[in-house]
Amino acid sequence: MQLYTKILIGMVVGVVLGFLLGPNSDLLPEGGVVLGSKAQVLRAKGAQREVAEARGIERAELLERDGDWLRVGWKLRAKDVVRLEAAGIEARKGASFEGWVLESPVNARTFSPLGQSLVDSTEWLGRLFLAMIKMVVVPLVFFSLILGIASLGDFRKLGRMGGITLGFFMMTTMGALVIGLTLANLLSPGSLMGQDDRAMLLGSFDASRVTTAAAGAPSLVDQIVAIVPPNPFAALANAQMLQVIFFATMVGIALTLMDARKSQIAVDVCDALNEAMVLLVHIAMKLAPIGVAALLFQVVGTTGLSVLLALGAYGAVVLLGLLCHITFIYLPVVRFGAGLGFFGFLGAIRAALVLAFSTSSSSATLPVTMRAVEDNLSVSNEVASFVLPIGATVNMDGTALYQGVAAIFIAQIYGIDLGMAEQATIVVSATMASIGAAGVPGAGMLTLAMVLAAVGVPVQGVALIIGVDRVLDMFRTMTNVIGDCTATVLLSRLQGDNLRVVSPGEDAADPRHGLEGRLDHPSPHAVQADPSEP
Ligand code: ASP
């Protein structure tokens, strides 16, 4: 069976099991309650009712249900806080506490402890797979970029490539924002949310996390200067992608300026190590079917269906926007700019898309994205190793589009009217915020705080969308990766590469290329143990 088929099966298994056997499953017995970070707990004491606010207590035991009211009990840990409006409860570590909470998707949700333990006992499989792929990211980018730049030969080519790449990234990001803002204004998802849902979502949120993110955003000049790493080894060790890209580019340039006899040694070493990293990607991908199943089981199992429904209109506008962006911007570029059939193109990068979807991380997907465009679309290493790492770090059209929709949605709910000037500010700030977002899960939601602050919308509004963020992240990350690949095929065509779509059948038939069966056919020149040795 083809690897890709196995990965697809892993996806389906993860999603189905997540619904059936995850913590939010209706099939498993409920026994625990997830409390929102500011859940209100009522405690009946004689005739009086006391109101307590429980903070930091994420999980409680479900003792009894009475309609929408749940009787919950928990033991206080040192970091938990229970604030009482009426005196009477001694909140010390180890003390048992009991009270009633009103069930709602964000204030208090029941879950199945059995489903939770299934997630807890399988999540390491997803983590292991992700770690295997992430392990390759930095060395792969480093060696393959040095190799790519050194074989470019001509700096004017490099300058041209850099200029077109960055220009393309900026234009498509702005295009994404225009699409997102237009749809959010036309369809107005904020007007569909009821007063109760709004109060409940806002009440459950601790804004300090995102507010700090907004306050810490450095200026543009500082960001540009910071791309030059004072200590490249530290940059490599900390996986600071832009710094690694800059250093590798400079090393590649230096190699082309040197005496060719000397530089050839370094180029050969990079070439060999690059090949080794490629094989590590193949080894890691063997784990993909199980890893993807475990990752999706966790995400689907822990996202409440009720939260998805409460935010359905907003989520639908984001998804519609992403679809429009792919159709009206990427499709014409791939079709007419790079001369490739769009569905053939999507088929060729399918392994990267599946991975982007299940990991919500364009950085973690990068090694597979590089393999996909080089092996399945015949993009040259010099273009792929230059455009894709930069793309995975700075080009996030899906993220920008989502930030535009989210900003308008939150403003609509607060009743804030954003005029043309404010919307232009959103375009500029969300472009910067998407560039600043790292290619990791949830990064776009943190930098959204910058966008909200720029137009005076309360940062607390992020609470409104937090529930569906992880699910939308899967789709926007996939869009981000399609955008990176679109730029790559365009650049590749402009550089004169002869692009060709390797079909899934061809990939499977020839194990020397593509993602299928590479490890089953080691090189005939592979290092062999000498049989004559004892
Ligand atoms: N998860 C996204 C990515 O890796 C970034 C984001 O929008 O949060 O591309």
The per-residue pLDDT string of the chain (534 residues; one tens digit each, 9 = 90 and over) reads: 777 888 889 989 988 898 888 888 878 888 888 876 666 666 655 445 556 666 556 778 888 888 888 888 877 665 555 555 444 555 556 667 777 888 876 677 788 888 888 989 998 998 999 898 889 888 988 998 898 888 776 777 788 888 999 999 999 999 999 999 999 999 888 777 666 666 655 655 444 444 444 555 567 788 788 889 999 999 999 888 888 889 998 998 899 888 888 889 999 999 899 889 888 888 888 888 999 899 888 888 877 565 666 678 889 999 999 999 999 999 999 999 999 999 999 999 998 999 999 899 998 999 999 999 998 999 998 899 999 998 998 899 999 999 999 999 988 888 888 888 888 999 988 988 888 788 888 888 888 888 888 888 888 778 778 778 888 999 999 999 999 999 999 999 998 888 888 877 777 777 766 667 666 665 656 655 555 654
Most ligand 1 atoms within 8 A of CB, residue of 295, 361, 393, 396 to mutate: 396
| Ligand 1 touching residue 476 (CB < 6 A) | yes
Question: Which DSSP string corresponds to 467-506?
Answer: HHHHHHHHHHHHHHHHHHHHHHHHHHHHTT----PPPHHH
| Ligand 1 touching residue 36 (CB < 6 A) | no
Residue 496's pLDDT is 86
Query: Given the CA of residue 392, which atom of ligand 1 is nearest to it?
Result: 9
Residue nearest to atom 3 of ligand 1 (CA): 439
- Of the chain, the end-to-end C-alpha distance in Å amounts to 40
* Geometric angle at alpha carbon 92, from 87 and 96, rounded to 5°: 85
CB atoms within 10 A of CB 218: 11
Name the residue among 98, 113, 105 with its Cα closest to residue 68: 105
| Ligand 1 touching residue 444 (CB < 6 A) | yes
Residue 136's pLDDT is 87
Name the residue among 103, 99, 93, 105 with its Cα closest to residue 54: 99
Which ranges of 238-304 does DSSP label H, i.e. alpha helix? Answer: 241-257, 260-286, 288-302
Q: Which two tokens stand for residue 527?
A: 């290092």
Question: Which residues have a Cβ under 8 Å from the Cβ of 311 and sit 6 or more positions away?
Answer: 193, 464, 465, 467, 468
Residue 159's pLDDT is 84
Counts for the chain of helices (H) and strands (E), in that order? 22, 8
pTM above 0.75, yes or no: yes
| Ligand 1 touching residue 56 (CB < 6 A) | no
Question: Which DSSP string corresponds to 391-408?
Answer: HHHH--HHHHHHHHHHHH
CA-CA distance, 242 to 258, in Å (whole number)? 25
CA-CA distance, 168 to 150, in Å (whole number)? 24
CA-CA distance, 30 to 34, in Å (whole number)? 11
CA-CA distance, 406 to 291, in Å (whole number)? 31
Residue 177's pLDDT is 95
Residue 489's pLDDT is 96
Query: Given the CA of residue 396, which atom of ligand 1 is nearest to it?
Result: 9
Query: What is residue 424's three-state secondary structure?
Result: helix
Residue 340's pLDDT is 93
Range 116-509: architecture per CATH: Orthogonal Bundle (1.10)
| Ligand 1 touching residue 392 (CB < 6 A) | no
Most ligand 1 atoms within 8 A of CB, residue of 169, 322, 369, 399 to mutate: 399
Please, are residues 119 and 94 in contact by the beta-carbon 8 Å criterion? no
Name the residue among 395, 467, 503 with its Cα closest to residue 176: 395
Residue 202's pLDDT is 60
Please, are residues 301 and 24 in contact by the beta-carbon 8 Å criterion? yes
The ranges assigned to domains in the chain are 30-111, 116-509
Please, are residues 69 and 99 in contact by the beta-carbon 8 Å criterion? no
Residue 528's pLDDT is 57
| Ligand 1 touching residue 301 (CB < 6 A) | no
User: Cα of 388 to ligand 1 centre, how many Å?
Assistant: 15
Residue nearest to atom 1 of ligand 1 (CA): 441
